[in-house]
Amino acid sequence: MQKQTSKTPASDLLPAETFPENILLPLEIRVHGRGGQGGVTCAKLIAATYAKLGFNVQTFGDYGAERTGAPIRSFTRVDKTPIKNRNKVYRPDHLLVLDTGLLVPTLLDGVAPGASLLINSSEDPEKLRRRYPQFRVAVVDATSIAREHGIGTAAVVIINTTIVGSYAAFMGLPMTAVQQAFSFFGFVEDYEAAVAASRAVQIFEPLVHPKAGGSENIVETGPVLPITEHQQDIPTGLKTGTWASQIPQYREYAAPCSLACPAGNDVVGFIQTLKEKGASAAAELLLQTQALPSVCGRVCPAPCMKACNRTYYDGPVNIRSLERWIADNSDLQLTPLSDPDPKNFAVVGSGPAGLSAAFHLAMHGQKVTLFEKEHQLGGVLRYGIPAYRLPDDVLDRDIARIMALGVGSECDAKINSEKLAKLNSEFDAVLVCIGLGAPYAMQAAGEQLKGVFQGLDFLARRKKEKLPLSGTVVVVGGGNTAVDCARSALRSGAGSVKLVYRRSRAEMPAIAEEIEEAAHEGVQILTQRQPVAFIGSDTITGIKLAEVELGDQDASGRRRPIVTDQTVELACTTVLLALGQQPHLKLLPEGWAIEGSRVMNGDEPLPVWFAGDCLTGDGTVAHAIGNGRRAALDALAFCSGKSLPEDKEMKSTVAPADIRFSHFPVIPPYEDRHQAGGRIKENFEEVNLGLPGPGEAERCFSCGRCTNCDSCLVFCPDGIIFRDGSGYRIDQEYCKGCGICVAECPRRAMAMLDK
């Protein structure tokens, strides 16, 4: 809907004495015509006529794309003061009807008794007058006049200019103003027809006078409402909804962030909830899938952020830190479901997979016992990831929330194959979440020298006791364990730390931000180097590194390292190996085997499931959390005989091309705060301090999910979308299926569907 509001420069105005005196302001005019008759131009010429008389005017059509013969409406407002109303005209004072075919009963909706009605008709004017006894009625056969003056074609006579002459006569407007308006818009040639129509028009006062009599009864237009509050408009009589072959519908599409989340979090959901209802409400949603939000909000590699559509605009939403914000700032009492016949579950291993499984089982009202071989619960979160990334109290908080649901635990309880078989007979179901097994060895000469350690052992021991280091420490590997070892070595007193990796830096599997922080703290990263020997007689004194060339891509998609015979020696005091871990192979009793995630004894499925790294080797906390939850729900469904709701199936994803970037202001991402640089040695305080506030949530596009932003309503050219409760209603009787609402939806929360 294009609205034009204008004021004629004083120099162009007609003399003041030509102003009609009886005009009540503000004045609203509605023109009913058909595509091709020129109704929009007619409204414009009337506006221009009033403008020439010194009034402020506004004029606009109902929609941009007129079709020949289709009912259209156009509107003009006139006032002494500048016009701010942006709505259509709902209560016209003057109604122009360009075609008797449009004289349907609903045409008059909203028109006050005593209003003025100008009809283009060749019918008997008296008859029309009697049909509308409570209105001032003027009748003119503008079509014949326009035809006589050769305006338009024989098939489609254009009456827009002709009828303006009769309108001026009806309202007592000076024809000089009409003439000026015509010349302003380049219709000088049509002026003669307008003059003829001004003479031909027959004007009748109301037969039945409105109670209060006369024009003072004209309905006030009332205060200006925002466009979003617009009223149900007056139907045109022609239900244009029948034209549509497609209709717009509000839909929900999976956002790429949510699809990328291995834990199965509803990312858009929790961010929008944070924005609208605060951290506790967001936590409630997050905890439906995420047992360890404080942990994941710190250590997750955040594949969601890599998938975020905002990356293509002004930078991805800092989703990980929003999750952390919610976890750190919410106060939530969880109420588990109550099950009158709870089942008894054993969960072996208390890393993220086991904790997640225990959490969801407990939330479903089941009895759960965790069996953990270490002294404390947490798995790698407790004994691997250093405190400067994941402080103990943060981990404790997430674990305490789970244990508060009534989960029991036995620590220092290593489960072997015999005990697993026993658990199978004692519990209704067993979930095995034991993570990965022993670390890989280097298989290089001198690996047994004193001073060569497994990085994982170093990290685990460092959690329990101080392990002072000195001199040059070489860390071998490129994953999270390697980077954690390097940064922990710096904190443990190493003079210098060199991280040796056989591929390029871009191919290091560790979290990119962690690599950057390690480099920032002073870890020297040596890429395309492969240790081939450890040097020393009893204790290590150096390491022999071969240069590596990168060949073709291997199965992992990374370039294959080719070790050359070019070597260098590097003096060092300690080597920490971080080459990954192998799967546990020895836990299954004789005859048991894993199929999918379920354990089979021959052909017989056992109520035993595997989950987490020991099953998938995915190697991230979020994967383990998601996998643990899904296995728990599978086990519960099996034991209870009920099928439990699966992860919400989403239709398809929202691509960057689906986002209307221009609807969003550019807002650079809010950065995490960090500990002020300075002392690293012995400083295991958390480095990343998270976001200063939840403002980052404002940056979420809410891909695929309606936020009630009103774009559909505002852009609908027919004004047939209305706010309705918590959403919108589309008047399907009038929706022509133009698709503009869908095209203008900033976030693909609508779609055009075949009717």
**Could you tell me which of 279, 321, 284 has the C-alpha nearest to residue 300?**
321
Tell me which stretch binds ligand FAD (CB under 6 A): 33-41, 306-314, 342-350, 360-368: 342-350
**Nearest-approach distance from CB 489 to ligand FAD, in angstroms:** 13
**Nearest-approach distance from CB 735 to ligand FAD, in angstroms:** 48
Of the pair 310, 320, the CB lying nearest ligand FAD is at: 320
**Could you tell me which of 351, 349, 338 has the C-alpha nearest to residue 406?**
338
**Nearest-approach distance from CB 461 to ligand FAD, in angstroms:** 13
The span from the CA of 261 to the CA of 237, in Å, is: 51
**Could you tell me which of 529, 512, 748, 552 has the C-alpha nearest to residue 652?**
748
**Nearest-approach distance from CB 70 to ligand FAD, in angstroms:** 59
Q: Residue 437, Cβ neighbours under 10 Å: how many?
A: 14
The span from the CA of 628 to the CA of 353, in Å, is: 4
Q: Which of residues 402-421 bind ligand FAD (CB under 6 A)?
A: 414-415
For the stretch 741-752, what's the b/e string if a residue is b when 16 or more beta carbons lie within 10 angstroms of its beta carbon?
bbebbbbbbbbb
Of the pair 71, 352, the CB lying nearest ligand FAD is at: 352
Of the pair 115, 263, the CB lying nearest ligand FAD is at: 263
Binding mask 444-483 for ligand FAD (x = CB under 6 A): ------------x--x--------------------xx--
Among 373, 559, 660, 723, the residue binding ligand FAD under the rule CB under 6 A is 373
| 92, two tokens | 């016209």
Tell me which stretch binds ligand FAD (CB under 6 A): 307-315, 335-343, 431-439, 637-645: 431-439
Among 28, 233, 398, 484, the residue binding ligand FAD under the rule CB under 6 A is 484
Specify whether the CB–CB gap between 716 and 740 falls below 8 A: yes
The span from the CA of 390 to the CA of 325, in Å, is: 14
Of the pair 89, 622, the CB lying nearest ligand FAD is at: 622
Among 39, 125, 349, 509, the residue binding ligand FAD under the rule CB under 6 A is 349
Among 234, 353, 399, 608, the residue binding ligand FAD under the rule CB under 6 A is 353
The span from the CA of 280 to the CA of 269, in Å, is: 13
Of the pair 101, 437, the CB lying nearest ligand FAD is at: 437
**Is 709 strand, coil or helix?**
coil
Of the pair 293, 352, the CB lying nearest ligand FAD is at: 352
**Nearest-approach distance from CB 645 to ligand FAD, in angstroms:** 24
Q: Which of residues 301-320 bind ligand FAD (CB under 6 A)?
A: 301
| 34, two tokens | 């058909």
| 450, two tokens | 């004193």
Among 256, 293, 384, 746, the residue binding ligand FAD under the rule CB under 6 A is 384
| 49, two tokens | 């006529």
Of the pair 477, 737, the CB lying nearest ligand FAD is at: 477
**Nearest-approach distance from CB 616 to ligand FAD, in angstroms:** 8
**Nearest-approach distance from CB 713 to ligand FAD, in angstroms:** 42
Tell me which stretch binds ligand FAD (CB under 6 A): 6-14, 183-191, 377-385, 547-555: 377-385
Can residue 348 be called a binding residue for ligand FAD (CB under 6 A)?
A: yes
Can residue 321 be called a binding residue for ligand FAD (CB under 6 A)?
A: no
The span from the CA of 137 to the CA of 139, in Å, is: 7
Of the pair 254, 459, the CB lying nearest ligand FAD is at: 459
Can residue 573 be called a binding residue for ligand FAD (CB under 6 A)?
A: no
| 63, two tokens | 């929609």
The span from the CA of 570 to the CA of 542, in Å, is: 5
Of the pair 31, 307, the CB lying nearest ligand FAD is at: 307
Of the pair 407, 415, the CB lying nearest ligand FAD is at: 415
| Residue 523 φ then ψ, to 5° | -70, 130
Among 59, 350, 492, 530, the residue binding ligand FAD under the rule CB under 6 A is 350
The pairing of strands 408-410 and 367-371 is: parallel
The span from the CA of 576 to the CA of 458, in Å, is: 8
The pairing of strands 721-724 and 727-730 is: antiparallel
Among 98, 138, 299, 720, the residue binding ligand FAD under the rule CB under 6 A is 299
Can residue 361 be called a binding residue for ligand FAD (CB under 6 A)?
A: no
**Nearest-approach distance from CB 379 to ligand FAD, in angstroms:** 3
Handedness of CA 186, 189, 192, 198 (dihedral sign): negative
Can residue 352 be called a binding residue for ligand FAD (CB under 6 A)?
A: yes
Q: Which of residues 619-638 bind ligand FAD (CB under 6 A)?
A: 619-622, 624
Of the pair 415, 523, the CB lying nearest ligand FAD is at: 415
Q: Which of residues 511-530 bind ligand FAD (CB under 6 A)?
A: 511
Tell me which stretch binds ligand FAD (CB under 6 A): 247-255, 284-292, 373-381, 721-729: 373-381
Please give the C-alpha separations between residue 336 and each of 59, 270, 293, 401, in angstroms, as whole numbers. Answer: 61, 20, 18, 12
Of the pair 58, 265, the CB lying nearest ligand FAD is at: 265
**Nearest-approach distance from CB 290 to ligand FAD, in angstroms:** 13
For the stretch 42-70, what's the b/e string if a residue is b when 16 or more beta carbons lie within 10 angstroms of its beta carbon?
bbbbbbbbbbbbbbbbbbbbbbeebeeeb
User: What one-character DSSP code corresponds to residue 208?
Assistant: S
Among 181, 300, 302, 588, the residue binding ligand FAD under the rule CB under 6 A is 300
Can residue 612 be called a binding residue for ligand FAD (CB under 6 A)?
A: yes
Can residue 261 be called a binding residue for ligand FAD (CB under 6 A)?
A: no
Among 174, 435, 561, 690, the residue binding ligand FAD under the rule CB under 6 A is 435
Cβ-proximal residues to 353 (8 Å cutoff; 6+ apart), any chain: 379, 433, 435, 611, 612, 613, 614, 624, 625, 627, 628, 631
**Could you tell me which of 94, 78, 87 has the C-alpha nearest to residue 3?**
87
**Nearest-approach distance from CB 605 to ligand FAD, in angstroms:** 22
CA 22 centroid distance within chain? 55
Of the pair 94, 382, the CB lying nearest ligand FAD is at: 382
Of the pair 374, 547, the CB lying nearest ligand FAD is at: 374
Q: What share of the chain is helix, strand, coil (3-state, %, to 5)?
A: 35, 20, 45
The span from the CA of 342 to the CA of 156, in Å, is: 79
Can residue 433 be called a binding residue for ligand FAD (CB under 6 A)?
A: yes
The span from the CA of 347 to the CA of 423, in Å, is: 10
Number of residues that bind ligand FAD (CB under 6 A): 38
Please give the C-alpha separations between residue 26 and each of 55, 398, 714, in angstroms, as whole numbers. Answer: 10, 64, 24
- List contacts with ligand FAD (CB under 6 A): 299-301, 348-354, 371-374, 379-380, 384-385, 414-415, 433-435, 456, 459, 480-481, 484, 511, 587, 612-614, 619-622, 624
